[in-house]
A and B are shown apart, each in its own frame.
Chain A
Amino acid sequence: MIAILLMAIFLLSSRLSHALEVSQEKISGDATADSSQESISATHTENVLPGQNPVIFQEDDFSSDMTSPAELGENIEFPDENRTRFRKLKNYFSANIGMLSYGVVQNPADSIVNPHNDLLELPGYVANFEMRPDLYFDSSYLELSVKPRAKVDFQAWEEGMRENDTEWEHEGYVNEWLVRANAWHKIFVSYGRENLQWGPSFLFSPSNPFFTDNGRINAYMEVPGMDFGRLVFVPHVNWSLSLIVNTDEGRSVPLGPDPFSPIYAVKMDYTGEKAYGSFIYSRKDFKQANTFGFFGGWTASDALVLYTEGSMRRGSDAYYPVEDTSSFGASLQRSYSDDHEIKPTVLAGCAYTFENSGTLTLEYLYNGQGYNNDEADLYFTTARNVSDFYNKLLQDAASDAEREDIAALFKRNASSQNASPGLRFLRKNYAMLQYHQVNIKNRLNISLRWTQNIDDGSGQLFGLFSYFLGNHWELFSSGLINAGNEETEFGSVLDYQVMLGLKFTL
C-alpha cells in the first residue's frame, strides 16, 4: 500500500509540477522562459556583479540545527531564489528507473549432496526480465523510498525428476521501502524493508548478524530485503550509534532450517583521519548467546587499504553431523548450542590499487563455526549413505510414477531432517583473491575472483564483466566455474554457470 501511495505521489507530483511549470512559462512569456537564473539576476541586480550568476541559498536546508547565514563566520547573505513552490516540490522527488533482462545457463553437479539434482532442483536454463524503479522523496526532516519490482521468469530443467520440465512465473513485489525521519539532523528514526549491509569485506560480512549474503557475489542480483526498525544517533562527525531490530524476515530467507526470530543489535561507529572501526553487539530473540561483531579499516597509503571484520560468540546455532544409530549412521544436530567455547569468525583483507586504477584484493577468512576434518568427513559419508540409499530406491522402482513419489519423499525428508547445516561457509579456512578494475576506456568494468577452500582443496572462479553501450544501456556477463570433487564444498552443488544480460537505466 505504501509503495503504491508513494508511486502515486511521485507520478502525480512530477506531472503536476511539470504541467504548472509549462503553464507558468507560457504565462511569463519568452522573456522569462529562458531560465530561472535570469529572473534571479533581475531581482537582485544590486547584489550581483555584471555577467555573473548569483549563488543560490537553499533556505529549506536550514533547520534549527543549522547555522543561519547571518551566523556564519562572514555574515554571508544570499539572493533569494525565484523558484515556485511546485518547482521546489519537484526537487523533493527523484528516481532511478532500471530495466534488466538476462539469461542463465548452468549445470548442477550430480553429487551425493544433490543426487540427480532432485533435492535442490536447480534449473538448467533461466530467462528473466525485471522492472526495477527506485523512487525517492527527500526533505529536510523526512525521507521516503520505495523499490517496487515486477519480474517475469522462465525456467527449464534438463535432468532429474524435472527433466524437460519448464515453468513460467511472474511476480510483483516491493523489495525495499523506507520511511526515515530526522530530528536536529542528529537523530534518525526509520522503519522499512531494507538491505542493511555494512563492513569492508567482499567474501562474507561476519559482523552483520542479519544477512549472510552481502550482495557482492553478483551486483546484478538483488539481495532480498528484510524489515528493520532503526534509530541512528550522529552526535559528532566521527561518531555514531545505531539501535537496530529486524521485525520480520521480509523477502529474505533465513539460513538453515530455523524459522525467523528477531535480532536486536547495538552498533557503534568511529571514523578517524585514516581509519574507521565499528563494534556490533547483537542477540537473537533474547534467548541465544550474545554475539560481538566488529569491523575496521586503515587507509595505509594512497594505494593500500587494510581491513578486518569478524564476530565472536559462545557455541554455535549451526547443525553438525553426529554419529547415531540411524540407518545412515549419523544425523545433523545442534551440537554446540550450549557450548561455552568461543567460536570466532575473523576475516582479514588488504586491497592494493595499481597506477591504472585496477585493484587487487586478498582476503583470508577463519570461520570458527565451520566443520573440522572429522565433521566434514562424517557429513559427506552420511550424504553418500543417503544418496546411495536413494539411488537404490530409484533403481528398484517399478514405474516413473513410483520414482516421482520416491523423489518427492526424499526431498520432503531432507527438508524436515535438517539437511542444511545453516552455515554460510561449510569449513574453517578460506582465501579469496580478486582483481577489479572500472572505467576501462570509460566503458568496461571487470571483476575476477578466485575463492579457495583451504581445508578441502575446492575452489570457485567467478568473473563479472559489464560494458556500457552509450549512456543508458549496459551489457553484462558473469561466469562461474567450481572446482572440486563431489565431497567438497564448491564441487558438490554447481559445475558452472554463465549469465548474459542487458540493463537499461533512465
Chain B
Amino acid sequence: MIQKKFMKQGMVLFGLFFIVVFSILAPTVEAQMNPTEMLQKADEARGNLEGIQWEIVMDSIENGREQNRKLEVTAKGYNSLVTTLAPGNVKGQKLLMQDRNMWFAKPGLSKPVPISPRQKLLGTAANGDIASTNYSGDYKIVSVENEQLNKEPCVIMTLKAIDNRATYDRIKYWVSQNRLVGLKAEFYTVSGKMFKSAEFEYKNSVTINNQPREFISKMIITSAIMKDDVTILRYSKPSLKKVSDATFNLNLLTR
C-alpha cells in the first residue's frame, strides 16, 4: 500500500520533472533546428507551397514618383496572378506570371499582351516579392552565422539561387532564432552588388499544427542605389489554399 503510494508520488514527481526539463530544453531544441528547417519555417510565415491568395496595398516611391495600388494576388509555385483592385483608372488590370512568361491584360484591351520580366509594373517590388515565398526551394544555403538584430538573436543565412527561375541571385537573410521568421533581407546582383534590402513585419497570424504562427503583414523594400526609393507592401486577407492550375491559364484570363 505504502509502496503504491510512493510509486504514485514518484510518477507525479517524474512527470513534473519531465515537463520542467522539456520546457527548459524546448527552446534549445528549436535553436538546434538545422538551417534548412529554419528556412522552411520562415517560408511558412511568408507563403504556402500549395497556394495563397491575399490582398496587398502597395505604396511605392520610385525616382520621386509615387505609386499606390491595391492588388489581389493569387500565387502558387512559380505562377501568380495579380489583379489591380484600386485606384479606379487601373482597376481590373491583370498581370499573369507563368514562370518567366508574363502577360498583361486590362479591361478594354481585348488581348493579353506578352511582356518581359523587366517591364516592372509594381515599383521597386519584384514580382517574387508579391507572390508566395519559397526560399528553401529556390535557394541553397551557402553559409550561416549568428548575429543579433534589434536585440533579437538571429541566424544570418547567405542564400544562392539554385537556378535562374529564382527572383534574386543571392540573398542575405536574417531569420529570428526564437520566432523562426525572416526579419530582414539584402538582395544582391550576379556581380555581388547589393541593390535592395527589405524588412518584414508579422502581425497576421496562422495556425499550423494547432500552434499559432506569425504571418507576414508588411514588407518595406528600400533601394540600395536610390536611397529615396521605397516600396511598402501591406499584406491583408491572406488565405492559404490549394490554388487550381486553371487560375493561371491564359484561355480563362479575360472574360
Contacts and interface: CB of A to CB of B under 8 A. Distances in A.
Given A134-B107, A219-B109, A299-B116, 6 more contacts: A185-B246, A269-B250, A274-B101, A441-B65, A470-B89, A473-B89
Interface of A: 47-49, 51-58, 61-62, 65-67, 69, 72-79, 96, 98, 132, 134, 136, 143, 145, 178, 180, 182, 185-186, 188, 194-195, 197-200, 205, 214-216, 219-220, 222-223, 232, 234, 236-237, 240, 242, 267, 269, 271-276, 297, 299, 301-305, 307, 351-353, 355, 357, 359, 438-439, 441-442, 468, 470-474, 503, 505-506
Contacts of A76: 48, 206-208, 240
Contacts of B49: 73
Interface in B76-124: 77-79, 86-89, 91-92, 98-102, 106-121
Nearest to A76: B208
Nearest to A72: B50
B99 A49 contact: no
A238 B197 CA distance: 33
B87 A232 contact: no
A78 B239 CA distance: 9
B108 A222 contact: yes
A215 B110 CA distance: 6
Contact of A351 (B100, B114, B217): B114
Contacts of A304: 116
Contacts of A240: 249, 251
B249 A232 contact: yes
B242 A66 contact: yes
Given A75-B208, A353-B118, A188 B252 contact: yes
B249 A52 contact: no
B146 interface: no
B246 A182 contact: yes
A52 B214 contact: yes
A70 to B, nearest CB: 11
Contacts of B44: 74
B101 A297 contact: yes
B80 to A, nearest CB: 12
B216 to A, nearest CB: 10
Interface residues of B, number: 69
Given A49-B214, A178-B255, A198-B250, A297 B114 contact: yes
Nearest to B120: A357
Contacts of A506: 88
B182 interface: no
Contact of B165 (A222, A223, A273, A305): A273
A112 to B, nearest CB: 33
Interface in B212-255: 212, 214-215, 217, 236-242, 244-246, 248-252, 254-255
A303 B251 contact: no
B248 A53 contact: no
A172 to B, nearest CB: 19
A353 B214 contact: no
Contact of A232 (B65, B89, B119, B251): B251
B121 to A, nearest CB: 7
Interface string B135-171: 0000000000000000000000000000001000000
Q: By CB atoms of chain A within 10 A, which of B50, B206, B238 has the most?
A: B206
A234 B209 contact: no
A236 B112 CA distance: 21
- 7 closest Cβ contacts across the A-B interface? A471-B87, A215-B110, A185-B244, A197-B111, A52-B205, A237-B245, A55-B206
Contacts of B188: none
A271 B101 contact: yes
A276 B240 contact: no
A299 B117 contact: yes
A424 B118 CA distance: 33
A143 to B, nearest CB: 7
Contacts of B78: 273
Nearest to A144: B255
Contacts of A359: 115-116, 119
Contacts of B28: none
Contacts of A352: 116
B89 A242 contact: no
A279 to B, nearest CB: 13
Interface string B46-86: 00111001000000000001110000000001110000001
